[in-house]
Amino acid sequence: MVDLQGQYTKIKDAVNNSIEQVLNTSAYINGPLVHEFQADLEKYLGVKHVIPCANGTDALQIAMMGLGLEQGDEVITADFTFAATVEVIALLKLTPVLVDVDPATFNIDLEALKKAITPKTKAIVPVHLFGQVANMEAILEIAQEHNLFVIEDNAQAIGATYTFKDGRKQKAGTLGNVGTTSFFPSKNLGCYGDGGAIFTNDDELAHTIRGIVNHGMYTRYYHDVVGVNSRLDSIQAGVLKAKLPNLNTYCTSRRDAARFYNKAFANNTNIVTPTTQSNNTTNCGQLCDSCDCHVFHQYTLQIKNGKRDALHKHLLENNIPNAIYYPVPLHAQKAYKDDRYQEADFKVTNQLIKEVISLPMHTELDQEQLAFITNTILSFIK
Ligand X SMILES: *Cc1c(COP(=O)(O)O)cnc(C)c1O
Residues in contact with ligand X by the rule CB under 6 A: 55-57, 81-82, 84-85, 127, 153, 155-156, 182, 184, 194, 196
Comparing CB distances to ligand X, the nearer of 106 and 346 is 106
The CB-of-312 to ligand X minimum distance in angstroms stands at: 20
- Report CA dihedral (117, 109, 134, 270) to the nearest 10 degrees: 170
At closest approach, how far in Å is the CB of 98 from ligand X? 14
Between 348 and 370, whose beta carbon lies closer to ligand X?
Answer: 348
Beta-carbon contacts of 82 under 8 Å, excluding residues fewer than 6 positions away, are: 127, 155, 325, 326
Residue 274 C-beta: closest distance to ligand X, Å: 16
Minimum distance from CB of 157 to ligand X (Å)? 9
Give the nearest residue (CB) to ligand X.
56
Closest by CA position to 294, among listed 273, 280, 277: 277
Give just the sign of the alpha carbon dihedral 171, 173, 178, 183: negative
- Residues with Cβ within 8 Å of 35's Cβ and at least 6 positions away in sequence, in order, are none
Q: Phi, psi (5° rounding) for residue 52? A: -70, 150
If the CB atoms of residues 156 and 268 are measured against ligand X, the closer one turns out to be 156
Q: Give whichever of 33 and 84 is closer to ligand X, judged by the CB atom.
A: 84
Minimum CB distance to ligand X, residue 205 (Å)? 20
When the beta carbons of 164 and 184 are compared against ligand X, the nearer one is 184
- Using an 8 Å Cβ cutoff, are 203 and 266 in contact? no
Q: Nearest approach, Cβ of 4 to ligand X (angstroms)?
A: 15
Q: Which is nearer to ligand X, 194 or 292 (CB)?
A: 194
Count Cα neighbours of 334 within 13 Å in the Cβ-side half-sphere.
0
Q: Answer for the pair 172, 165: CB distance below 8 angstroms, yes or no.
A: no
The 10 Å Cβ neighbour count of residue 345 is: 19
